[in-house]
């Protein structure tokens, strides 16, 4: 970890610019799946997904993250055509919306497949959020470079079906750092602009409950990579473990605490299910830790 920390380059997407470090940005989760760990089946019709997108935007989120493949532990892979069928119509519907704020919102597509990324960007997505860090599909990084959009690279071991059997690390943060450093280099080599790359240490992905807490304590260790840092603790089972609460939808307050800790550690972007609530958390935490004299 010898790189010199640099201020991440701003992202200009649609009518807004993301000035990393100025404040914490919030990404609202929109799962169009029947089997996601927290909200599976709630938004897997076009009308329900559009209503949730509207609610998240009205709640103040900066990005909508739309996914059609569950990545919960043990999740099975859906056919490529099915994933496209789940995400493209809702992206198109958002872009056609009569509500200006919704139609112009920044959209990321949560996918590990280059073909889905391309279809989603053509439909109106602005960012690719790849939980495999560009490792599941050899064409992903070159595709993102060709599309000219930013990519978020996350750390994972194995696949969602196998990842929780791969939590044995000799040096947790060192191994996460090395993986992300390598994938950032691979993305740049494929033609992705260095200023178009964000990183995510992958809370809940091939991590034990204590390891998730360690990541939250050690976020600054990732800063030398010079990329915006996304943290996604929302409703994760490590919070339920702490609170002895197995129902993900009853973990809003625990999520708020995790988000506040992430902001204290320098997270640039939070990925959350409860948009309005975590936007308020971010505003107050920013006033404490990011306020200028």
- Residues with catalytic function: 236, 271
Instruction: For Cα atoms 71, 72, 76, give the angle at the middle one, nearest 5 degrees.
Output: 65
* Alpha carbon distance 110, 129 (integer Å): 5
Look up residue 136 and give its two tokens: 């599941």
Q: How far apart are CA 263 and CA 286, in angstroms?
A: 7
Estimate to the nearest angstrom the gap between the alpha carbon of 143 and the chain centroid.
19
Cβ neighbours for 244, distance < 8 A, ≥ 6 positions apart? none
- Take residue 153 and report the two structure tokens written for it: 């690279």
C-alpha distance from residue 176 to each of 49, 54, 159 (Å): 33, 35, 16
Contacts of 56 (CB under 8 A, 6+ apart): 28, 30, 64, 275
Sign of the Cα pseudo-torsion (129, 158, 79, 191, in order): positive
Q: Which two tokens stand for residue 260?
A: 């506040």
Distance CA 9, CA 19 (A): 8
């Amino acid at each position: 970890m010898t790189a010199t920390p640099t201020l991440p380059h701003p992202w200009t997407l649609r009518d807004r610019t993301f000035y990393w470090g100025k404040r914490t940005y919030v990404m609202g989760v929109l799962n169009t799946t029947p089997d996601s760990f927290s909200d599976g089946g709630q938004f897997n019709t076009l009308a329900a997904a559009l209503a949730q997108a509207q609610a998240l935007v009205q709640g103040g989120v900066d990005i909508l993250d739309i996914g059609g493949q569950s990545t919960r532990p043990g999740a099975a892979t859906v056919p490529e055509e099915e994933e496209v069928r789940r995400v493209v119509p809702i992206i198109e519907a958002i872009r056609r919306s009569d509500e200006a704020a919704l139609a112009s919102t920044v959209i990321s597509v949560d996918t590990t497949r280059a073909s889905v990324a391309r279809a989603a960007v053509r439909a109106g997505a602005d960012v690719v959020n790849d939980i495999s860090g560009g490792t599941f599909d050899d064409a992903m990084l070159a595709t993102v470079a060709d599309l000219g959009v930013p990519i978020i690279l996350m750390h994972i071991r194995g696949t969602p079906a196998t990842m929780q059997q791969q939590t044995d690390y000799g040096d947790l943060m060192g191994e996460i750092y090395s993986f992300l450093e390598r994938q950032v280099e691979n993305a740049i080599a494929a033609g992705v602009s260095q200023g178009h790359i964000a990183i995510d240490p992958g809370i809940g992905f091939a991590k034990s409950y204590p390891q998730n807490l360690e990541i939250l304590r050690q976020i600054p260790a990732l800063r030398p990579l010079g990329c915006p840092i996304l943290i996604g603790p929302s409703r994760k089972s490590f919070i339920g473990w702490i609170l002895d609460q197995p129902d993900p939808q009853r973990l809003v307050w625990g999520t708020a605490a995790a988000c506040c800790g992430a902001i204290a550690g320098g997270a640039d972007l939070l990925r959350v299910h409860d948009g309005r609530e975590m936007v308020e958390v971010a505003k107050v935490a920013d006033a404490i830790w990011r306020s200028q004299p």
